[in-house]
Amino acid sequence: MRKILLCLSLLINTAVIFAQNTEPEGKDATIRIKKIADFTVTGNGSSEAWKTAEWVRLTPQEEGISGYETKVKILYSETGLYFLYSCQDEKLTATMHDDNMNLWEEDVVELFLWPAEDFPVYFEYEISPLDFELPIIVPNYKGKFLGWLPWNYAGDKRVIHATSVTGGQKKSGSQLTSWTAEFFIPYKLLSPLPNVPPSPGTKWRANMYRIDYDLKAIHFSWQKTNRTFHDYNSFGTFVFE
C-alpha cells in the first residue's frame, strides 16, 4: 500500500511540474498590450515608450534548431499599433530593392493580425532588413488564401516603418550582429475589418514570424503553425489593456 501511495505521489508531482513548465499555446497564449501616446518611429527602438513593453521571444519552427535570438515588443495608441523586432544575425540576405515583392524569399520579419474570428480575413505585413515592405489583406477560406494590396495606400493610411543594423552595413551580404525593424500600423489601413480599432479588453488573434536565410531557411514564430504561416487557427491572442 505504501508503495502504491508513493508511486501516486511521484506521478502527481511529475504532473504538477510538467504543467508548471508548459506554456499556453495557440489561442490560449496571450500578450497583454499597453496603451501609450503616439511617438516617432526611428528604426532602432530609441523611443522611451518602448521601455513600458516586455519582449516576446520567437523560436524556430524546425525541430532541433536553436536559431538566432529573435524578439518583439508591441504597443498600441489611439491611432494604431507599434511593433519592434530585434533579430540577432551574422549575414544579411536581402537583395530586393522594391516594395511589394516576394520578401519572404529572403531575410524578413512578418506580422499577421486577425481582429475577428468570425471573419476569415486578416492583415499581413512583411518588412526586410533593407526597409522594403509588403502590406496585404488576406482572405482565407478553408486554407485557400490570396493577398490583396491596399488601395490609395498613402497619407495616414500608410505604414510608417524603418530598419537599422548593428555590427555591419545595411546592404546585402553584409556581416553584422543584428538588425532591427520598427513600424506603426494605422487603424485606417485595417478598415473595414471588424473589431477595429481596439479598445481596452478587446482581443485579436495574431502571430509574429521571422525567416532567416544564412545557411538554409529557418522559420521563427511566436506560436507554431502547421505547414504554413497562414494557419490562423494556431494564432495566439493579443489582449489590449
Query: What are the φ and ψ backbone dihedral angles of 8, each rounded to 5 degrees?
Result: -60, -40
Contact 199, 240 (CB under 8 A): yes
How far, in Å, CA of 70 to CA of 148, rounded?
28
**Mind listing the pLDDT tens digit for each residue in 24-64?**
999 999 999 999 999 999 999 999 999 999 999 999 999 88
The answer for residues whose C-beta is within 8 angstroms of residue 88's C-beta and 6 or more apart is 68, 69, 70, 177, 178
Output the CATH code of domain 31-240. 2.60.40.1190
Per-residue pLDDT of the chain (241 residues; tens, 9 = 90+): 444 433 434 333 433 333 334 679 999 999 999 999 999 999 999 999 999 999 999 999 998 887 899 999 999 999 999 999 999 999 999 999 999 999 999 999 999 999 999 999 999 999 999 999 999 999 998 888 889 999 999 999 999 999 999 999 999 999 999 999 999 999 999 998 999 999 999 999 999 999 999 988 999 999 999 989 999 999 999 999 9
Residue 29 carries which side chain, given as an amino acid letter?
A: A
Which cell numbers hold the place of 39? 511617438
Supply the pTM of this predicted model.
0.90
Give residue for cell 475589418.
193
From the centroid of its chain, how far is CA 230?
A: 13
Q: CA-to-CA distance for 49 and 197, rounded, in angstroms? A: 20
Could you identify the residue written with the cell 501616446? 37
Domain locations in the chain?
Answer: 31-240
CB 163 within 8 A of CB 182: yes
